[in-house]
């Protein structure tokens, strides 16, 4: 109910003034030590709503209910106190310093001590030196700081977040518990291929799965049957696609010398490009030639010279010798998508008019060297070259990162095969910072790839080898030794006439 005779607008203004006055009366007084009257007035007046300039965010108001007690007291917090039971030079907040120590200080190395700057309201301690006093004294002022941001923290009472947490060292008692809380580990390199970022920059050319193998003139032809059992020579061989097909070819025996698909040169003459659109070529090497007779007996030739189909007249019928019956490609590749080696094996036979049409068999297999395969398994996907010295190191500070040193050890023996058998990573770390709460810092990382010798086995034999990985952490920090910055000296003077009458 408004008073009589007052217009409605004036009543509204009176209501606003009453609310502002009530809010001002409810604002708690600012506790300061060592503040003059001007600073105290500004600190108290800063909470008044009408003093906020236009466009600046409003200071957070008091929250409902009691707040928990802060776990950090800035009055006893000292970030420059590095030596226990000793006074640190120019550290005005060091409790071990006395008035005698303050007399030799030049300035306070840390003039203001605060907590987290993201707090809405927090205590701050201002340290200074009063050189006009005799002896010089330390000035201690406790003030309130208000964060004008609307996104701020009212209070925090999680004490472990204010210091570095020492990790729990695994042992035989807590190993099972730590394994349950961790994500586990795997040796499958494919599991590390997850969310890969594709940049809008050209990448190095390489063969990918299913990409046709290119040759100097076109692509590697791999005959196969499509809609029918007849052989089609225009089918390209795809990268990492193992195939084994059989197809039928209708031929005119009198023209067997002119049919390219019956000749060894048709399959061995092309040169495979190492990577797509590359000038580097990999020749196809003939590894073995087996001759099959009419009675199905097999004979392996000692040489690997390319033979041409030849029509031979044997009495009343004709024969075509050196006809390709089976073709087997063995291509060796790397993890970079390169073809490094191409081997070819043939089975040649004799064709008579009885076996026309002719059945041919084609196989292609992609192989990876065992040493490269084991090495890629041990290194994993994208093994790093640098590690961060701290857990919160910035990626742009590359000079602070620790490079990884790579070492390869092998034990050579005659008639043996060298295969990587173990990857040993050694991490050397030290304690850095304050003695009361040091932080772990990595100073050196060494990756040692150890190869072992295995006796050479015959082709086709399989053997199981054991590979292992190990990581060791070595503490190289030196133990702290208490002592003085300078050895103590005796400040004693002899009497003036001590050597009288000699001097």
Mean pLDDT of 375-404: 87
What confidence tier does 387 reach under pLDDT thresholds 50, 70, 90? very high
Q: What is the pLDDT of residue 163?
A: 64
For residue range 299-350, what is the model confidence (pLDDT) as tens digits? 888 888 888 888 888 777 788 888 899 999 999 888 788 898 899 999 998 8
Q: How far apart are CA 96 and CA 57, in angstroms?
A: 42
Closest CA relative to residue 372, chosen from 412, 340, 328: 340
Three-class HEC string of 344-392: EEEEEEEEECCCCCEEEEEEEEEEECHHHHHHHHHHCCCCCCEECCCCC
Q: Where are the domains of the chain?
A: 26-52+69-161, 224-368, 372-475
For residue range 355-365, what is the model confidence (pLDDT) as tens digits? 678 889 999 99
Q: How far apart are CA 102 and CA 99, in angstroms?
A: 5
Indicate the burial class of 274 (C-beta count within 10 angstroms; 0-12, 13-18, 19 or more).
Answer: buried
Whole-prediction pTM:
0.43
Q: How far apart are CA 434 and CA 314, in angstroms?
A: 99
CB-CB contact of 261 with 280 (8 Å): no
Least confident of 63-72, 278-287, 317-326, 443-452: 63-72
Q: What percent of the chain has pLDDT over 70?
A: 75
Q: What is the pLDDT of residue 18?
A: 40
Task: Give CA separation, 465 vs 86, 144, 419, 462, in Å.
Answer: 59, 68, 9, 10
Largest CA distance in the chain: 148
For residue range 86-141, what is the model confidence (pLDDT) as tens digits? 898 899 999 899 888 888 888 899 999 887 777 888 888 999 998 888 888 888 89
82 or 417: which carries more pLDDT confidence? 82
């Amino acid at each position: 109910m408004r008073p009589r005779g007052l217009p409605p607008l004036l009543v509204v203004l009176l209501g606003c003034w009453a609310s502002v006055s009530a809010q001002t009366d409810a604002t708690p007084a600012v506790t300061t030590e060592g503040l003059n009257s001007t600073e105290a007035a500004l600190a108290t007046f800063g909470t008044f709503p009408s003093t906020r300039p236009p466009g600046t965010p409003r200071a957070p108001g008091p929250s409902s209910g009691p707040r928990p007690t802060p776990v950090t007291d800035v009055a006893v917090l000292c970030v420059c106190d590095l030596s226990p039971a000793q006074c640190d030079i120019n550290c005005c907040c060091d409790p071990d310093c006395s008035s005698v120590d303050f007399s030799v200080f030049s300035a306070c190395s840390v003039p203001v001590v605060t907590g987290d700057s993201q707090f809405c309201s927090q205590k701050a301690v201002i340290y200074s030196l009063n050189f006009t006093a005799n002896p010089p004294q330390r000035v201690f002022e406790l003030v309130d700081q208000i964060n004008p941001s609307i996104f701020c923290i009212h209070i925090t009472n999680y004490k472990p977040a204010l210091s570095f947490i020492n990790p729990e060292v695994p042992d035989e008692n807590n190993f099972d518990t730590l394994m349950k809380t961790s994500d586990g580990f795997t040796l499958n390199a494919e599991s590390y291929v997850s969310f890969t970022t594709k940049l809008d920059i050209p990448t190095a050319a390489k063969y990918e799965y299913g990409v046709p193998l290119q040759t100097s003139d076109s692509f590697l032809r791999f005959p196969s049957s499509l809609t029918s059992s007849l052989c089609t020579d225009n089918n390209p061989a795809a990268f990492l696609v193992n195939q084994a097909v059989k197809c039928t070819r209708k031929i005119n025996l009198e023209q067997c010398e002119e049919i390219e698909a019956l000749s060894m040169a048709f399959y061995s003459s092309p040169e495979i490009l190492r990577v797509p659109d590359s000038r580097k070529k990999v020749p196809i090497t003939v590894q073995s030639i087996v001759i099959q007779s009419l009675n199905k007996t097999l004979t392996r030739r000692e040489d690997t010279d390319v033979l041409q189909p030849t029509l031979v007249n044997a009495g009343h019928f004709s024969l075509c010798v050196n006809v390709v019956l089976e073709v087997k490609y063995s291509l060796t590749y790397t993890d970079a998508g390169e073809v490094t080696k191409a081997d070819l094996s043939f089975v040649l036979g004799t064709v008579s008019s009885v076996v026309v049409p002719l059945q041919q068999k084609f196989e292609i297999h992609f192989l990876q060297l065992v040493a490269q395969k084991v090495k890629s398994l041990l290194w994993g996907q994208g093994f790093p070259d640098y590690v961060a010295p701290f857990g919160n190191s910035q990626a742009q500070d590359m000079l602070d990162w620790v490079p990884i040193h790579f070492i390869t050890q092998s034990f050579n023996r005659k008639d043996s095969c060298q295969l990587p058998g173990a990857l040993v990573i050694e991490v050397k770390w030290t304690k850095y910072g304050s003695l009361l709460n040091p932080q772990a810092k990595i100073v050196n990382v060494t990756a040692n790839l150890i190869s072992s010798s295995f006796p050479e086995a015959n082709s086709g034999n399989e053997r199981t080898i054991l590979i292992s990985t190990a990581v060791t952490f070595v503490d190289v920090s030196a133990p702290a030794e208490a002592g003085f910055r300078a050895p103590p000296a005796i400040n004693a003077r002899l009497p003036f006439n001590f050597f009288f009458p000699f001097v």
